[in-house]
């Protein structure tokens, strides 16, 4: 007979990724710069981003901070601890007109934050750090993606911790975003999308072929030369339901703006 979505083992996917990321004593040690271990391939169009996990191992609530080098994409050749400060200075704020800051999505709490461009110790102003208050033994996963102010961007979702493995297809133009989610399992959640628009009155969303529910949850500014932020786009949260029933429009999201 047909195996229903609710009858499937939802732990299979988590077990698969855990085994891929786990350390094996008998396995050959890969080169330090080879993207093989713990690497998840994302669908075309999602871009690249950094995943940072922080944990509070103490028995009391605490505010934890992520240092700036952890938020920056590593160079293709990799770097060691002695090169981290140099890399930060070369990629800090004020070094490039193309640096518009970062989208930051906290997976477990489903919170979006815009993080200003990083500054080095030699620049004016304090370094920007990402801070989070965590309960005892609590963990948060942050997805950090560089802002591209002229193009729509997939920020992530609360459907899968990778913020990419739930996506089958992502395409975007100057006026439309199309997302096809995987329909292997029945899921209810949200996706977060950056749109390069300020006025949200023209946004129209279809989910599974019907008008969808969405809300603007974040403003993405650009830091001008005088240091003042200027709004360049909005981040919207779209509610999605994947029925996993074989319908043609199941898992499809269309955003016109």
Sorting pLDDT into bands at 50, 70 and 90, what band is 36? Answer: low
Give the whole-angstrom CA distance, residue 139 versus residue 40: 20
pLDDT score for 250: 94
Stretch 99-104: mean pLDDT: 84
Instruction: Return the C-alpha torsion angle 167, 10, 12, 109, nearest 10.
Output: 60
Per the CB < 8 A criterion, the answer to whether 40 and 165 are in contact is yes
pLDDT score for 109: 85
DSSP type of residue 254: E
pLDDT score for 123: 47
What burial class does residue 101 get, using C-beta atoms within 10 Å of its C-beta: 0-12 exposed, 13-18 middle, 19+ buried?
buried
Per the CB < 8 A criterion, the answer to whether 157 and 192 are in contact is yes
Give the whole-angstrom CA distance, residue 211 versus residue 254: 10
Q: Which residues of 170-180 are buried (b: 16+ CB within 10 A; e: fewer)?
A: bebeeeebbbb
Got the DSSP string for 155-201? EEESS-TTSSTTEEEEEE-SSEEEEEE--SS-EEEEEEEEES-S--T
Has residue 191 got a pLDDT over 50? Answer: yes
Displacement of CA 135 from its chain's centroid (Å): 23
Has residue 240 got a pLDDT over 80? Answer: yes
Nearest alpha carbon to residue 220 among 239, 196, 241, 245: 196
Sorting pLDDT into bands at 50, 70 and 90, what band is 180? Answer: very high
What burial class does residue 70 get, using C-beta atoms within 10 Å of its C-beta: 0-12 exposed, 13-18 middle, 19+ buried?
middle
Has residue 29 got a pLDDT over 70? Answer: no
CB atoms within 10 A of CB 165: 17
pLDDT score for 28: 65
More confidently predicted of 74 and 204:
204
pLDDT score for 95: 42
Residue ranges of E strands in 22-164: 50-55, 62-66, 102-106, 111-115, 130-134, 139-146, 153-157
Sorting pLDDT into bands at 50, 70 and 90, what band is 205? Answer: very high
C-alpha separations of 56 from 50, 62, 64, 107, 130 in Å: 20, 7, 7, 16, 15
pLDDT score for 176: 95
Stretch 41-53: mean pLDDT: 82
Sorting pLDDT into bands at 50, 70 and 90, what band is 126? Answer: very low
Has residue 21 got a pLDDT over 60? Answer: no
pLDDT score for 257: 94
pLDDT score for 32: 56
The model's pTM: 0.71
């Amino acid at each position: 007979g047909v195996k229903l979505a609710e009858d499937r083992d939802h732990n299979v996917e988590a077990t698969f990724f855990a085994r891929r990321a786990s350390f094996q004593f008998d396995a050959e040690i890969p080169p330090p710069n080879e993207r093989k271990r713990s690497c998840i391939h994302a669908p075309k169009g999602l871009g690249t981003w950094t995943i940072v996990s922080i944990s509070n191992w103490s028995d009391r609530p605490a505010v934890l901070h992520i240092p700036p080098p952890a938020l920056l994409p590593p160079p293709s050749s990799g770097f060691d601890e002695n090169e981290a400060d140099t890399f930060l200075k070369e990629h800090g704020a004020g070094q490039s007109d193309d640096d518009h800051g970062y989208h930051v999505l906290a997976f477990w709490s489903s919170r979006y934050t815009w993080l200003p461009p990083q500054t080095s110790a030699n620049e004016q102003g304090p370094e920007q750090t990402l801070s989070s208050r965590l309960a005892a033994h609590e963990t948060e996963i942050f997805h950090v993606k560089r802002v591209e102010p002229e193009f729509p961007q997939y920020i992530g979702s609360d459907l899968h911790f990778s913020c990419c493995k739930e996506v089958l297809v992502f395409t975007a133009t100057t006026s439309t975003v199309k997302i096809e989610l995987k329909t292997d399992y029945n899921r209810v959640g949200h996706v977060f999308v950056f749109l390069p628009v300020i006025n949200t009155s023209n946004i129209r969303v279809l989910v599974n072929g019907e008008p969808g529910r969405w809300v603007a949850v974040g403003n993405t500014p650009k830091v001008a030369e005088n240091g003042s932020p200027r709004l360049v786009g909005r981040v919207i949260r779209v509610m999605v339901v994947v029925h996993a029933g074989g319908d043609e429009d199941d898992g499809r999201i269309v955003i016109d703006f």
